């Protein structure tokens, strides 16, 4: 008989684990050895390279369609819509990428790459190891970082190879040199910075020639690097995963959605997207979202017309929480309030601005009976008449004169989520929050109450805020208004809930949804690096990124 080497290796690993943890583990008798026919062990070694083109948005990559990245896409799983973190500047995004941990946990956002303590908290920030650290611990492989950014190079100083370079062309040349000379190289991170710099000169859009040319040059470098990988003397015995991505789209100060292309020779081209409907569970007044700065866009003063509409699904009754609005605690501004399970209140006040106290309009609606579309319009008629009207599921319910509130401007932030409650636990889901800079008429509201494609709305160009609330991950609720508006930032211990086909009338149900979804974020990069190198992602690592290629193993595991 001959030894089964695979089982022998597993048995050896079990012994090692048992010895390491003997203090807390029971002792078991050693099982007898098993002898079977020998197996053939593969000599192919997995390798991974991450190439980040900082500042390249997914939308503009799709528009420009550079050739080298396009070739990689043909053997890849890819997306043009990587969801950015709640803080997504250069530092925070890179920390998320290389650690596999979202910003809300690592709290790294300053140039020293050190975590920032939470405000009003004595709790020390968590410390998370980067992917290179795990690779060096668990694998006999060499690692490399090539970047013109000294701060990032210093953050990843644990790497075996970290050449000092100052330009993108030097990044390309040094990367190729390492690929040509370092046989034991197993993981490499390459960082190009010129695209982000080019976007600052004329905009991060394909129509900006400077930006487009920088993207094409970076693409040329990507092609050079791919050619160098394939030219390695040991390439026949290597299985490379090539990830091309970005720290974020757009600028450091105004980051946008990025992209990710994970290419391997056996992968079938497929656009990665989430399935079903995934929204936030606003549970208790500790989970909420705000627009940090709106530059007055959502202030409607004494005479501006506007419309607010949102889909809601209340899961429980609660008394008197504000769940949407822009108001102070003493009723300057406007807000919506839940009153039990069967009433929705519209509230106005302008106390701080010379107006009257709280004005309230109560609307009977079975809030806890499923999804409902709530609509509020405000129409200025004259100095003594400003009418607020309420609609439920496209049906007019009531209106009242709020002119006594006068100026409803306030420095308070536009907020989605409960603010206080005196009875019960606030628990609701929300979708498709819309703000128009006009007061929609009854006919328009009724005709479009179940509209699933917002671009078809007759007043689409009047949208100054449109938040679908369907990201499914991270701490940003993206604003999809056509030409203006601001993102919302989530706070508290929020969770995204996959509701499958349990959707509001304004959302097209995904009949193939199983409640699971693939949502890619910057954290995907670090998690996927470890997965590809066969490093088990243990709970103790604290990684919350998705090693999403594990859902496609049938394509590359032979």
Reported confidence tier of residue 41, pLDDT bands at 50, 70, 90: very low
**Strand, coil or helix: 216:** helix
**Strand, coil or helix: 27:** coil
**pLDDT tens-digit readout, 124-154:** 777 899 999 999 999 999 999 999 999 999 9
Q: Does the pLDDT of residue 323 top 90, yes or no? A: yes
Residue 228 burial (CB count, 10 A): 17
Residue 241 lies in a domain: yes
Neighbouring C-alpha atoms within 13 Å toward the C-beta of 105:
17
- Confidence at residue 35, expressed as pLDDT on a 0 to 100 scale: 38
Spatial neighbors of 347 by CB under 8 A, at least 6 apart, are 322, 325, 327, 331, 334, 335, 336, 337, 358, 359, 360
- If asked whether residues 34 and 67 sit together in one domain, one would say no
- Confidence at residue 123, expressed as pLDDT on a 0 to 100 scale: 67
- If asked whether residues 225 and 83 sit together in one domain, one would say yes
Q: What is the DSSP letter of 515?
A: S
Residue 489 burial (CB count, 10 A): 17
Mean pLDDT in residue range 456-460: 98
Residue 234 lies in a domain: yes
Reported confidence tier of residue 492, pLDDT bands at 50, 70, 90: confident
**pLDDT tens-digit readout, 363-376:** 999 999 999 999 99
Spatial neighbors of 309 by CB under 8 A, at least 6 apart, are 373, 374, 375, 376, 432, 433, 434, 436, 445
Percent of the chain having pLDDT more than 70?
90
Residue 514 lies in a domain: no
Mean pLDDT in residue range 325-331: 89
Residue 210 lies in a domain: yes
Using an 8 Å Cβ cutoff, are 352 and 330 in contact?
yes
Q: Does the pLDDT of residue 513 top 80, yes or no? A: no
CATH number at residue 227: 3.40.720.10
User: Of the candidates 414, 417, 413, which has an alpha carbon nearest to the alpha carbon of residue 286?
Assistant: 417
User: Of the candidates 549, 533, 522, 478, which has an alpha carbon nearest to the alpha carbon of residue 106?
Assistant: 522
- If asked whether residues 256 and 133 sit together in one domain, one would say yes
Query: Is beta strand 270-271 parallel, antiparallel or unpaired with respect to 76-82?
Result: parallel
- If asked whether residues 465 and 546 sit together in one domain, one would say no
Q: Does the pLDDT of residue 15 top 50, yes or no? A: no
Strand-pairing partners, residue 412, are: none
Reported confidence tier of residue 40, pLDDT bands at 50, 70, 90: very low
Residue 371 lies in a domain: yes
Give the pair of three-digit tokens for residue 435.
């703000």
Give the pair of three-digit tokens for residue 550.
């594990």
* Secondary structure (H, E, C), 455-502: HHCCCHHHEEEEECCCCCCCCEECCCCCCCCCCEEEECCCCEEEEECC
When mean pLDDT is compared over 30-39, 328-337, 404-413, the highest value belongs to: 404-413
Range of the domain at 421: 278-500
Return the minimum-mean-pLDDT range out of 163-172, 301-310, 490-499.
Answer: 490-499
Mean pLDDT in residue range 54-81: 97
User: Of the candidates 317, 327, 54, which has an alpha carbon nearest to the alpha carbon of residue 193?
Assistant: 54
How many domains are there within the chain? 3
Measured at the CA of 237, the angle between CA 233 and CA 243, to 5 degrees, comes to 90
User: Of the candidates 216, 251, 222, 231, which has an alpha carbon nearest to the alpha carbon of residue 61?
Assistant: 216
Give the pair of three-digit tokens for residue 359.
């004005």
Q: Does the pLDDT of residue 237 top 50, yes or no? A: yes
- Confidence at residue 20, expressed as pLDDT on a 0 to 100 scale: 36
Residue 115 lies in a domain: yes
Reported confidence tier of residue 47, pLDDT bands at 50, 70, 90: very high
More confident residue, 16 or 131: 131
- If asked whether residues 169 and 231 sit together in one domain, one would say yes
Mean pLDDT in residue range 174-184: 97
- If asked whether residues 19 and 79 sit together in one domain, one would say no
Q: Which residue has the tokens 């053997």?
A: 75
- If asked whether residues 232 and 290 sit together in one domain, one would say no
Spatial neighbors of 376 by CB under 8 A, at least 6 apart, are 307, 308, 309, 336, 346, 388, 389, 390, 391
- Confidence at residue 122, expressed as pLDDT on a 0 to 100 scale: 61
CATH number at residue 399: 2.60.120.200
More confident residue, 40 or 438: 438
Give all strands of the β-sheet with 415-419 in edge-to-edge order. Answer: 359-364, 343-349, 333-340, 318-327, 415-419, 288-290, 488-491, 476-477
Q: Does the pLDDT of residue 14 top 70, yes or no? A: no
Q: What is the DSSP letter of 115?
A: B
Reported confidence tier of residue 4, pLDDT bands at 50, 70, 90: very low
**pLDDT tens-digit readout, 280-299:** 999 988 999 999 999 999 99
Query: Is beta strand 343-349 parallel, antiparallel or unpaired with respect to 496-500?
Result: unpaired
Measured at the CA of 158, the angle between CA 152 and CA 161, to 5 degrees, comes to 85
- Confidence at residue 168, expressed as pLDDT on a 0 to 100 scale: 98
Residue 507 lies in a domain: no
- If asked whether residues 399 and 369 sit together in one domain, one would say yes
Mean pLDDT in residue range 467-486: 89
- If asked whether residues 9 and 91 sit together in one domain, one would say no
- Confidence at residue 7, expressed as pLDDT on a 0 to 100 scale: 34
Reported confidence tier of residue 357, pLDDT bands at 50, 70, 90: confident
- If asked whether residues 101 and 121 sit together in one domain, one would say yes
Residue 506 lies in a domain: no
- If asked whether residues 238 and 335 sit together in one domain, one would say no
Rounded to whole angstroms, how far apart are CA atoms 343 and 51? Answer: 53
When mean pLDDT is compared over 16-25, 229-238, 350-359, 499-508, the highest value belongs to: 229-238
Give all strands of the β-sheet with 185-192 in edge-to-edge order. Answer: 142-146, 185-192, 45-53, 238-245, 258-263, 76-82, 270-271
- Confidence at residue 120, expressed as pLDDT on a 0 to 100 scale: 57
User: Across the chain, what does the average pLDDT equal?
Assistant: 89
- If asked whether residues 339 and 245 sit together in one domain, one would say no
Give the pair of three-digit tokens for residue 345.
């209140």
């Amino acid at each position: 008989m001959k030894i089964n080497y695979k089982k022998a290796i597993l048995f050896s690993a079990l012994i090692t684990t048992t010895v390491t943890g003997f203090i807390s583990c029971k002792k078991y008798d050693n099982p007898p050895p098993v002898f079977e026919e020998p197996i053939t062990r593969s000599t192919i070694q997995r390798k991974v390279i991450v190439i980040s083109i900082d500042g390249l948005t997914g939308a503009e990559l799709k528009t420009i369609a550079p050739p080298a990245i396009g070739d990689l896409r043909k053997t890849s799983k890819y997306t043009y819509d990587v969801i950015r973190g709640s803080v997504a500047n250069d530092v925070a995004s890179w920390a998320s990428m290389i650690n596999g941990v979202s910003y809300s946990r690592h709290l790294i956002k300053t140039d020293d790459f050190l975590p920032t303590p939470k405000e009003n908290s004595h709790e020390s920030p968590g410390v998370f190891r980067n992917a290179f650290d795990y690779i060096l611990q668990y694998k006999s492989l060499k690692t490399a970082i090539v970047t013109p950014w000294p701060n990032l190079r210093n953050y990843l100083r644990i790497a075996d190879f970290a050449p000092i370079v100052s330009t993108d062309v030097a990044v390309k040349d040094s990367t190729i040199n390492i690929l040509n000379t370092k046989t034991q190289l197993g993981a490499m991170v390459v960082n190009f910075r010129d695209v982000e710099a080019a976007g600052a000169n004329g905009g991060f859009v394909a129509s900006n020639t400077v930006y487009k040319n920088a993207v094409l040059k970076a693409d040329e470098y990507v092609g050079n690097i791919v050619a160098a990988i394939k030219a390695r003397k040991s390439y026949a015995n290597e299985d490379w995963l090539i990830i091309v991505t970005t720290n974020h789209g757009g600028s450091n100060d105004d980051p946008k959605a990025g992209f990710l292309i994970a290419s391997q020779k056996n992968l079938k081209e497929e656009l990665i997207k989430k399935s079903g409907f995934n929204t936030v569970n606003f549970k208790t007044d500790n989970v909420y979202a705000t627009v940090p700065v709106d530059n007055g866009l959502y202030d409607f003063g004494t005479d501006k017309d506007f419309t607010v509409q949102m889909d809601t699904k209340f899961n429980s009754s609660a008394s008197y929480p504000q769940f949407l609005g822009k108001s102070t605690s003493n009723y300057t501004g406007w807000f919506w309030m839940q009153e039990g399970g069967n009433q929705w209140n519209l509230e106005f006040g302008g106390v701080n601005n010379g107006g009257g106290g709280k004005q309230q309009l109560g609307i009977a609606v079975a809030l806890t009976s499923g999804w409902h579309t709530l609509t509020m319009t405000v129409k200025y008629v004259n100095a003594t008449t400003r009418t607020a009207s309420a609609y439920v599921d496209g049906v007019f319910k009531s209106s009242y004169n709020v002119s006594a509130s006068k100026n409803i401007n306030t420095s308070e932030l536009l907020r989605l989520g409960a603010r206080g409650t005196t009875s019960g636990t606030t628990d609701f889901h929300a979708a498709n929050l819309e703000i128009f800079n006009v007061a929609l008429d009854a006919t328009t509201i009724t005709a479009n109450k179940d509209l699933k494609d917002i671009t078809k709305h007759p007043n689409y160009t009047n949208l100054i805020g449109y938040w679908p609330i369907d990201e499914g991950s991270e701490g940003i609720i993206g604003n999809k208004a056509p030409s203006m508006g601001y993102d919302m930032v989530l706070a508290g211990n929020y969770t995204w809930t996959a509701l499958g086909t349990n959707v509001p009338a304004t959302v097209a149900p995904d009949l193939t949804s199983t409640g699971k979804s693939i949502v890619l974020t910057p954290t995907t990069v670090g998690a996927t690096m470890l997965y590809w190198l066969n490093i088990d992602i243990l709970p103790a690592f604290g990684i919350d990124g998705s090693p999403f290629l594990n859902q496609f193993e049938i394509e590359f595991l032979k």
